[in-house]
Amino acid sequence: MTLRELYLLSPVIILGLGTIILMLQAAWKRQPWLAQSITVLTLMATTAFLIFEFPQSTTPITLLFEYEPIGSFFALLVLMASLSVALLQGAYMGPNSAEVAEEFYLLLLLSSMGALLLVMAQHVAGVILGVELMSLSMLAMLAYNRERKLALEGAIKYLLLSGTSTSMLLFGFALLYAASGELNLTLMLAADMTPMSEAGFVLVLIGLAFKLSLFPLHFWTPDVYQGAPVNSTLLLTSVSKAAVFAVLLKLLLVIPEAFEADITRMLSWMAIASMLLGNWLALRQKSIKRLMAYSAIAHMGYVLVAGVIALGIDHSLVLEGASYYLLAYLIASIIIFAVITYMSQLDAQEDLDELPKLQGMFWQHPWLATIMALAFLSLAGMPITVGFIGKFYLLTLAVKLSAWWLLSAMLVGSAVGLYYYLRVVFALFSPQQGAIPQVAGYSVSKVWTGLIALSLILLGVLPGIIGDQLKTILSIG
């Protein structure tokens, strides 16, 4: 390893150092606000490094990792989500929680580190380390409140199913290795495709589709989302989706010609089924967390459309569309979960996410209700929000490729989606019924949520701010 490689590995090294400092701090003197500050500073330092040293081209870092534009953009998304979780945790936990505070931040840093390793991976070992570091620390966070029975139930379901999907992922990689004799992701797929390697690639896709909760592997999503403490749900829906999607996209970009038609067909059906089923099942949900789970299934279907199109044509435009859409999804999810986080307490048996209980929230918390409504409108794809631009990108791409089936599923899904997103918005603004709890927020996290909400509008009105950047960085990679 040269000094240059070591330097480019800094994001991971900074996160690792932060983790060690946090462990020492917890051993020396427990102090929740100090742990939170260390976490936030570590995440900000990592973000700063990634922004100032944004890669112009692909540089390998040892055999296992590489520093390249696509992965780095997704790494920034991951860090944005982790930063939100870290900032929200203080108020969510409250000053006199029965649970320990420091370990949450520790797990948060570890899981961001896993996500970063995952987006940087160019070797099977890197993928395994990244995926497992990320999902195992997340698993511990899903059951963070030890007294919450539903959280435990969700975590056990996630443990068993995620273990199964990991074994499929590994089996798939093993078959690809057996067929090609290479462990590098690109070289592995560049070798001649035999039936064995095709089976392997499909297994790998299934393993990744589980983490993205795409159609046939979506069953765990609603239960885990509803059971977990809301802040951990936010992490699950943002960090793990963004990082895994980066890997999927990278694999799809190097897939051999001969195999493209089959995979396109398979992924198209998965995308169509996810979009329709996710939106359809979300219609009847009362719990916002559960609604967001089904909405996640649908939205991952939309993003997968970009992946399918990536197989066809013009890679840079597709990357731009997928990245923008994922950014839009992340911004909206962060806002929605942040609002629920402000109203809930970790120590309670359940979070305040039942729609009837939130009725008339606008009259008590006008700002929170407004940004939440905006986020839901963005998920529905209303103009002047960032979600509209994301959808616009994908629709343009689908039209360009004449993928009519995908296009019609997207339109039908969006129409159904509009109905249940608007239902939430109407509930927020209807006359107040029950008492809505007071919000005990810390000013820093409120400012951060405000910034995210501002970016939701700003990027919707002026998409060029990020769009042009994306175009230049992704076309080189």
Task: Provide, rounded to whole angstroms, the least separation between the CB of residue 226 and another protein.
Answer: 6
**How do 59-61 and 65-67 pair as beta strands?**
antiparallel
Which of 11, 55, 71, 222 binds another protein (CB under 8 A)? It is 222
Q: 66 φ, ψ to 5°? A: -145, 155
Q: Which range in 160-168, 296-304, 356-364, 429-437 contacts another protein by CB under 8 A?
A: 160-168
What the block records as the tokens of 38 is 């260390």
Q: Which of residues 105-124 bind another protein (CB under 8 A)?
A: 124
The H or E element spanning position 355 is none
What the block records as the tokens of 113 is 């580190």
**Does residue 184 sit in helix, strand or coil?**
strand
**Does residue 88 sit in helix, strand or coil?**
helix
The reply on whether position 163 binds another protein by CB under 8 A is yes
The reply on whether position 454 binds another protein by CB under 8 A is no
Q: Which is nearer to another protein, 222 or 390 (CB)?
A: 222
Which of 11, 154, 390, 460 binds another protein (CB under 8 A)? It is 154
The reply on whether position 159 binds another protein by CB under 8 A is yes
CA atoms within 13 A on the CB side of 67: 19
Which of 99, 223, 347, 354 binds another protein (CB under 8 A)? It is 223
The reply on whether position 140 binds another protein by CB under 8 A is yes
Task: Provide, rounded to whole angstroms, the least separation between the CB of residue 352 and another protein.
Answer: 17
Q: Which is nearer to another protein, 164 or 408 (CB)?
A: 164
d(CA 354, CA 338): 15
364: how many CB neighbours lie within 10 A of its CB? Answer: 14
Which of 164, 408, 430, 433 binds another protein (CB under 8 A)? It is 164
Which of 6, 24, 160, 254 binds another protein (CB under 8 A)? It is 160
Which of 23, 44, 128, 461 binds another protein (CB under 8 A)? It is 128
The reply on whether position 190 binds another protein by CB under 8 A is no
Task: Provide, rounded to whole angstroms, the least separation between the CB of residue 80 and another protein.
Answer: 26
Residue ranges that bind another protein, judged by CB under 8 A: 124-125, 128-129, 132, 136, 139-140, 143, 146, 149-150, 152-157, 159-160, 163-164, 166-168, 170-171, 173-175, 177-178, 181, 183, 196, 222-223, 226-227, 284-285, 287, 290
